[in-house]
Structure 1
Amino acid sequence: MVATALGTLGACAVSRYRFAGRKLFFGLVYSVMMSPDIVMGISLLMLFVLAGLTPGFLTLLIAHVTFCLPFVIVLVHARISGFDPAVVDAARDLGAREHEVFYKIIVPMILPAVLAGWLLSFTLSLDDVIISFFVTGPGFEILPLKIYSMVKLGVTPEVNALCTVLFLLTLAAVSAAHVLTKEIKR
Structure 2
Amino acid sequence: MRGGAEAVAKAVVLEAARIAHAQRRACHVYAFGGPDEVVELTLGFDSAGLTRLVDFIGQAFRGGTDICLPLERALVRLGESGWQQADLMIASDGEFGATPALAAAVLQAKTTQGLRVQGVLIGDRETVGLAELADDVFWVRDWRRFGGSSAASPVHDRRLTALYFPGALRSAQNRAATLDGEAAARAVRAGRKESNPT
Report the structure, 1 or 2, having the larger helix content: 1
Report the structure, 1 or 2, having the larger strand content: 2
Q: TM-score, normalised by structure 2?
A: 0.32
Q: TM-score, normalised by structure 1?
A: 0.34
Pick 1 or 2: higher relative contact order, CA cutoff 8 A, min separation 6. Answer: 1
